[in-house]
Every structure is written in structure tokens, then in C-alpha cells.
Structure 1
Amino acid sequence: MVTRIKHTIVATMTALLAVFVFASAAQAQLKVDVTRGTIDPVPIAIPDFAPVKDIETPAGKLSDIGASISQVITSNLVSTGLFRAVDPAAFIEKVTAAPTRPNFAAWRPLAAQALVTGRLELLPSGSLRVEFRLWDVVAEVQMEGVGYTTPVPNWRRIAHVISDRIYSRLTGEEGYFDTRIVYIAETGDPLHRIKRLAVMDQDGANQQFLTDGSYLVLTPRFSPNRQEITFLSYFKNKPRVYLFNILSNRFEVLGDFPNMTFAPRFSPDGNKVIMSLAENGNSDIYVMDLPTRKVTRLTNDPGIDTSPSYSPDGKHIVFNSDRGGSQQLYVMDADGSNVHRISFGRGRYATPVWSPRGDLIAFTKIGERKFRIGVMRPDGKGERLLTNAYQDEGPTWSPNGRVLMFFRTTKYDNKGGGGHPRLWSVDLTGYNERQVPTPYDASDPAWSPPLPVTKK
């Protein structure tokens, strides 16, 4: 089991130190285009956040926490491929906790286009207060200024929240750093594999196990609007679909199914779980209403229908099926009507998942002795492959629909044997591909919605 962690953060949504804003944020010219394939990353300077008073806390000295916050923000932004961190060794101006306007002349020679300054303070209540400001160096204006209050141990989450604010202000897109990933952590030899449900921050920090490995777990999926996970387990070789609430740390059995069950996934409103159930060697798609536990069959075809995923408006479902002779992607209405095929390329298609933006469907494409991650529009047009490795599969979308995470198994012998699965991410351009750190082998990731931030 995992120990429950409080994630309370209170944000003061005010323009901090407005006296230093010499022009409105709307006049700032700095804007990052996230849709281009290859770009020159925007140089951004992020000095260590300075403590008002350097006090020792149970989580370390405030100066060390300030440095760590800066490092996490830098890592988050650089990981997008859109930003390049200016080397701190080149900094001319020393940033302090004093509420002063930066000396922009000291930052322009470093080619910095954006500057992030921050301060932190231990409040009498024992809470940590962190404030940051985003500056356009060229226009010499403050673009953003927000303060956050949280328990000291939550400093890393504050860094993710600030990263989201910076990313959103500079790109016009929602950030995805203050999120979590649930996945299957794998250990042991190939014949005696132990698979445990694990959860972590999107950058690989705060790794925690949710199950102990005493029974097999598969296909975890986050609710789109709650901190809940549904997953499949085999308890005493009997398939069960579970719900796990991260905040309350509670497991709940959705149902025991006499036959094989595959790939449970939430509806957009979180009130239903859709899955495929196998009976007499054939699988069809069913949906369970969570409040009533009523199960309704949606497909009834001799082919194998599996891996269903709702559109973000809940009106349509994409799934893969071999009803036409080979494994392809199909879309139907949410009630199971109007089934039509959307994939017509060479090869087979699997594990489709609808983008939270509604504009694309991601999938695994199998062909030419490779498994690759691709996307297409819901009508099947505009197919693009984003990866080209030996075995990439199981895509999951970031909440803003700009990044995909998946798991990659490397080829380790000439006979095609698979190596160790690891998590990777790629953006929609296909150019920014990165490995996500995990302590063990990892497969089948699922991205959470953004964590809630309390506003004042």
C-alpha cells in the first residue's frame, strides 16, 4: 500500500508587486509556438529562488529548497524541447528575495529572452510561502506573478505548479507538469515476472507502489476528472476490475467477472467504466455504470472487439477489432450504434486512445516488424507515425493533448527477443523524444488529470 500524501496548495492569484510592472503583460512580445516541428529553443534564465531568511526546516534549509525548486522548473521546461536553460555560471546579477525589478541589462548579454525570479519564506504557521515572477527580458515587463502557500514537504509540487504557469503564459497552452503517472512496475526474470501498480510524478519523482506484487495487475487508467484509477487484476487467477482512490487510499472491487476481462477505462465524466469481456473465445465491449453497477453490452460481433476509449465529449468510442479480417480501428456512437472503420493503412492497429482535445486518436501500429506510436484524426485522415523504434506501444495523452507517453521494449538479440520495457514520451511533432526515469522496468502508463490547486 501507499502512504497518503497531502497535496494542498493555496495560490494567491494576484499580480505580485504591480508597482514594478512598467507595461501591461499584453504588450509583451514573447510567445512560443508549440506547433512547429523544429524550433530554436527559447533561452530562459531561472536563478535559484531566494529565501527571505535562510531557516532550517525538516525538509532542509530554505536556500537548498529554493535551489531545488529552480532545478525542477528548469528540468520541466527544458524537457518540452521548447526552452533552453541559460547556464547559471554566466549569471551577472545576483537575484535576492528583495522585491526589486531585475536589471534587464544584466540579462540581455546572456541572450535570455525570459527570466524567472522567485522568493520563499517560512510563515509563522509553519507553511511555506513561494512567490515567482516571469519577466520578458526584451520588452522589460513582468508577464506573470503568483504566490503559493503549502506545507514545506510539498515544495516539489509547487515547482510543478509554477512550471505550468510559465509554460501556459509563454505558449498559450495548458501545462502538464503538475500531474501524475500510474504504470506497471516490473521486476524478476521473464518467466516469473512480478508486476506491481506504481504511481509517480510526471517527471519520475515520488515513486510509490500501490500493490505489493502478490497478484498480477494490468492496464491501469486514470479517471479524467478525479484522482481515481481503474485497473485489472488477477486475484487467485480470477479477473477483477478495481477502483483505487489516491486521496483516500481505498481500493474498491467493481466486479468479479467469470471470463477474461480487458482494458477497463473511464468515461469522460468518470461515471462509467468501459471494457471488453471475453466469452466463448470472443470478446465484445461492455460498459458499467458506476453508481448502479449495471453492465450493458455495446458490441455483438464474431470478431474480437477490445481497447475501447471514449471521445472527450462522451459521444463516441474508438476501439480495435479484427471483424474485417485484420486488426483495425473502428469508431461507434456511445450506445454502440453507427460502427465504422477509420484505419486503412498497411499493418495492424491497436490500443487507440482519444486525445483530451478531441482532435486526434493515438494508437499502436504493428507492421514491418515494428510497433510504433502514431496519431490520426477521428475520421481516419492525417495518419502520422511519431516513433520508429523496435517496439513502442500503449500510448497515453498528457492532459493538454500535446505529449504522448508510452512504453518501449528494446531488441536485445538477433532473433527478435525483447529486452526491458521503459517509459518514454514524445510530443506531437515527433522530434522531442525522451525517456522517463523509473527505478524498475515499466509498462502501460496512464496520465492523470491536473491536480487541484485551491485558489484564494
Structure 2
Amino acid sequence: MGFKRRMQSATGIGATLGLGLALAMGAPQVALAQEPAPLQEVIVSEGVLRPLPIAVVGFTGQYGNDISGVIRGNLRRSGFFDPLNPASFIETGLSLANQPTFPQWTSIGAEVVLYGSVTPRPDGRNDVGFRLYDTYRECQLVSYQFTATPEQWRRIAHKISDVVYQRMTGESGFFDTRVIYVAESGTQLNRLSRLAIVDQDGYNPVFLTQGDEVIMSPRFSTSNPDEVTYVALGQDYSRIYLKNLSTGRTESLGEFDGQVLAPRYSNDGSKVAFSIIRGGNTDVYTMDLRSRELRRLTSDPGIDTSPSFSPDNRRLVFTSDRSGSARLYVMNADGSGQRPISRGGGSYTAPSWSPRGDLIAFTKQQGGQFHIGVMGTDGTGERILSSSYFEEGPSWAPNGRYIMFARQTRGGDTRLWTVDLSGRVIAQAGYDGRGSSPAWSPLLDAPPANLGYGQAPDSCPS
């Protein structure tokens, strides 16, 4: 197809609040009443290569059309696909037993076609099979079958989207994921914050806390999509919590002498890095989650905060104002070798190391605006991806190609947005409620016990 080559040639409000605090000094799950907004417009700006025209035919059987609709929405939001209007389809009623009539698809400009079926099983589950064909080479690109309970149809649609994305781009997908964030309600003077979680496309939002604490800096464990950490501020305390999303179990890392900020898991899930404001100074610490041993990594007389581990856990990036303005620094996991990497003007905050290991995302304040950008791990190649009145808190998708962040209007309305590494595909995230400090989960790779899958070999030459 050449699409992979074409694609490769294209080039948290809470974190800022945490820095501001440094400068200044277990609830039941409840479904949200708010429904997701209709599909947001995806802005693909000048210079981006043409998205791949794909025909996603309505699957036959229970929830078939719903599954197809979710797949279209996922692929469209990626910016790399252009799902064609089903009203333009000439051939309908495709069966898994038959190949498409290829000229009928090429005549409407479809370069690939996806179709499938939902078949009930005697045990109450469904088999969801699908095929993806290259219409010009007239060969099968991939064929898969999932088995799941009927209520898991949306999860299956996300997993099918991931298979299609990976087959056509050569990169892993990101659709079968969730986002944890701080849900906001109320007024500027009387604002309620709650920990919340939602599917990456904006569906199934759930509150995880009741609003009796101020919530900041939620983050997933990259080794376990069921484990999250966050900061909760009460009347006279600040605590770092660890929460298991499956069991609902919540535990505190303990009481600290000082204000705690910006926790982040190591990538093997064995440690949490965070900052403590103590005695007028703010430093980075790590805690071993087994032994609960606390280790101080920085001791400079400045504000050191927002640590983020490299994928191999050997280094951390963090923000420090020790030179007079907020800059990005890297250090070894034991605190040695601290050195600045950001080189441009302005203030740098909220660094986040890419899961690929090659880039660091950040927030930058300069020229009366806030910016989301990326740079190499040595500070070279800085690029700004998005700019506005106020935006903050970049979090990587698990494939390292997309970044979610919070954007605030002058009126104080904060929403979640996404941008790709080119900076040319930017959109409001699927969840349309007010929220900040988003964090993307790893792929939900381990399917439930009642969700199996199988794959047939491709017939297209590579």
C-alpha cells in the first residue's frame, strides 16, 4: 500500500498548580451523569499527508452497526484514516465467507475495506470476526476473530481499531485504553475536583472520588493499567494515594513532613517518584513500594518537582528553577549526574518521558501563551505542537505518537485535548466534560477471561 511509508515520512493544569503550591509554600465509584459529546471535529492542518480512505462496512449481527461506528470514530480521530460515508458504498451485505467485489470499492476511492460479523454462541458469548482487504492489490491484509460477552462490544471495537491501525501504520494502536483525569465542576471560587476515569473515546466516564478532597496529578502505572497514583489535599494534609481500579482498594504512601506533589510510577511499577515541599525547599524523592524506603534525589536550594522516569528506569527528567527560571533537568535514578537540557527561552514545566524513550514532552510558558512541545532527551530538536491561552499537563498515548493535555479558555473552562507528534492533528478529546491533569493508560493488553481472539494469516505480500 505504501501508507506506512507515507505516514513515517510525516513528521496538567495540576502540574502547574503543584509548582504554584511549591512557590507558595477511598471513595466508591459513581457513574457520571454527563454523556459524551458528539464526535469532535479533528483539525488536520496544512502539510499533512492525505489520510488513507477506508471503507468500514456495517458489521452484521447484534451491535454490528455500533461496532462499525466506534471503529470509524477511532480511525478518524487518529488523523491517518479517512472513513468513507457508508451512503457511498455500492456493495453491501458483505459476508466473511466472501471476498469484496474489488472494482466496486476502488470506484468510490476506498483503498482498504473492513467488514465483519457478530455471531452468537451457545454459551451466550459472541464471536466477532472481521477481514481487512487491500482493494487495489486485491488481497487480505488481516483477519481476526474475538470472542466476548455481548456487553463488551465497545471494547471489541477498540481492539479491532488497534489491529487495523497497527496493520496499516506499523505502529501499535492506542484505542483500547482509558484516561484518568481530574473532573471539575462548580465555579472558579467554589470548584469541586474529583478523580475520574473514561474510555479514550469519551465513553463510560466514572467518578472515583466523592469530591471531599482536592485531587491533583493522577498517573497510571505503565506496568499495570489497573494501578493509579494521585495527590489528595485535605484541610490540613496532603497525601499520595495508590488505587487499584479493579478492586477499589486505596492506600496512602504514608504521612510526610511537608506538602507532597506530582507522583509518578517507575515503569516497572516498583517505585513512585514525587516531590516534597519542606522547610521552604522542594526536592525530588523516590519511594520503593515494597520496602517503603524513602530516598532523596535532589538537594539544591530551589524548586525541584514533576519527576518522570525514562522507560528503562535509569534516568528521570524533572523541573527545577535553580538557575532562576523553570527549566528541564535530567538525572540518573540515584540522583547523580543532574544537568539541564532545555535551552530555549521561557519557563518549562510538567515533563513527561515518551514511552518510546526518544522524546520528552513538556509545557512551556513564553510570549504570553502556554505551549505543549517535545524535545530530544538531550534537549535538542525542540518543537512546539500546540499553543493557546493556557494549556498544561502532557501525557503520552502508549504508542508514543499522541499527547493528551488540558487546555483552558480565558473564561476558565478547561477541557481535554489531543495532538499528534506532527502538531498537525489536533482535536478536543472524546470526553466533553470539564477536566484537567489527564493521564493515558497503557494498552489494556490482558483481555478478560471471557475474551479470546485468533488471527488468520495475511495474503498480501509485504
1: CA distance between counterparts of 2:3 and 2:369?
A: 41
Deviates more, 1:432-441 or 1:238-247: 432-441
Task: State yes or no: 1:435 paired with 2:428.
Answer: yes
**Structure 1 residue 33: deviation in Å?**
3.3
Q: Residue 42 of structure 1 aligns with which residue?
A: 52
Aligned residue identity for 1:328:
R
2: CA distance between counterparts of 1:250 and 1:372?
A: 36
**Structure 1 residue 151: deviation in Å?**
1.3
Deviates more, 1:211-220 or 1:156-165: 211-220
Of 420, 431, 439 in structure 1, the residue corresponding to residue 413 of structure 2 is 420
Q: Residue 310 of structure 2 aligns with which residue?
A: 311
Instruction: Summarize the alignment of residues 111-190 of structure 1 with structure 2, pairs less than 5 Å apart.
Output: 111-190=109-188
CA contact (8 A) 2:362 2:394 kept: yes
2: CA distance between counterparts of 1:181 and 1:313?
A: 23
2: CA distance between counterparts of 1:82 and 1:320?
A: 34
2: CA distance between counterparts of 1:235 and 1:389?
A: 31
Instruction: Summarize the alignment of residues 98-109 of structure 1 with structure 2, pairs less than 5 Å apart.
Output: 98-109=96-107
2: CA distance between counterparts of 1:378 and 1:394?
A: 18
Secondary structure of the equivalent of 1:256?
A: coil
Of 426, 430, 451 in structure 1, the residue corresponding to residue 444 of structure 2 is 451
2: CA distance between counterparts of 1:33 and 1:127?
A: 39
Task: State yes or no: 1:407 paired with 2:420.
Answer: no
CA contact (8 A) 1:96 1:119 kept: no
Instruction: Summarize the alignment of residues 300-339 of structure 1 with structure 2, pairs less than 5 Å apart.
Output: 300-339=299-338
Aligned residue identity for 1:46:
V
Q: Residue 197 of structure 2 aligns with which residue?
A: 199
**Structure 1 residue 378: deviation in Å?**
0.6
CA contact (8 A) 1:239 1:258 kept: no
Of 216, 219, 244 in structure 2, the residue corresponding to residue 218 of structure 1 is 216
Superimposed CA distance per residue, residues 55-76 of structure 1 (whole angstroms, 9 cap, x where no aligned partner): xxxxxxx1xx110100100010
Aligned residue identity for 1:423:
L
CA contact (8 A) 1:30 1:136 kept: no
Aligned residue identity for 1:33:
R
Q: Residue 391 of structure 2 aligns with which residue?
A: 392
**Structure 1 residue 423: deviation in Å?**
0.3
Secondary structure of the equivalent of 1:31?
A: helix
Aligned residue identity for 1:41:
P
Deviates more, 1:236-245 or 1:332-341: 236-245
2: CA distance between counterparts of 1:285 and 1:327?
A: 15
1:98–1:330 CA distance, 2 compared to 1 (3 A): closer
Instruction: Summarize the alignment of residues 283-362 of structure 1 with structure 2, pairs less than 5 Å apart.
Output: 283-362=282-361
Q: TM-score, normalised by structure 2?
A: 0.87
2: CA distance between counterparts of 1:140 and 1:437?
A: 34
**RMSD (Å) for aligned C-alpha atoms:** 1.3
2: CA distance between counterparts of 1:437 and 1:104?
A: 34
2: CA distance between counterparts of 1:154 and 1:365?
A: 40
Gaps of 5+ in 1: 1-27, 52-61, 413-418
CA contact (8 A) 1:425 1:433 kept: yes
Secondary structure of the equivalent of 2:142?
A: strand
1: CA distance between counterparts of 2:332 and 2:181?
A: 29
Aligned residue identity for 1:420:
D
**Structure 1 residue 247: deviation in Å?**
1.7
2: CA distance between counterparts of 1:257 and 1:350?
A: 24
2: CA distance between counterparts of 1:426 and 1:91?
A: 31
1: CA distance between counterparts of 2:66 and 2:59?
A: 8
**Structure 1 residue 235: deviation in Å?**
3.4
CA contact (8 A) 1:183 1:445 kept: yes
Secondary structure of the equivalent of 1:426?
A: strand
Deviates more, 1:433-442 or 1:238-247: 433-442
Instruction: Summarize the alignment of residues 241-252 of structure 1 with structure 2, pairs less than 5 Å apart.
Output: 241-252=240-251
1:114–1:96 CA distance, 2 compared to 1 (3 A): closer
**Structure 1 residue 237: deviation in Å?**
3.0
Secondary structure of the equivalent of 1:169?
A: helix
CA contact (8 A) 2:133 2:139 kept: yes
Q: Residue 31 of structure 1 aligns with which residue?
A: 4
CA contact (8 A) 2:194 2:207 kept: yes
Superimposed CA distance per residue, residues 135-188 of structure 1 (whole angstroms, 9 cap, x where no aligned partner): 111101111011001111110000000000000000000000000000000000
Q: Residue 3 of structure 1 aligns with which residue?
A: none
Aligned residue identity for 2:284:
I
2: CA distance between counterparts of 1:274 and 1:242?
A: 13
1:452–1:328 CA distance, 2 compared to 1 (3 A): same
Aligned residue identity for 2:50:
D
Q: Residue 72 of structure 1 aligns with which residue?
A: 70
1: CA distance between counterparts of 2:394 and 2:239?
A: 23
Superimposed CA distance per residue, residues 83-111 of structure 1 (whole angstroms, 9 cap, x where no aligned partner): 11111111111134451111111111011
Aligned pair count? Answer: 411
CA contact (8 A) 1:181 1:199 kept: yes
2: CA distance between counterparts of 1:292 and 1:125?
A: 46
Secondary structure of the equivalent of 1:89?
A: helix
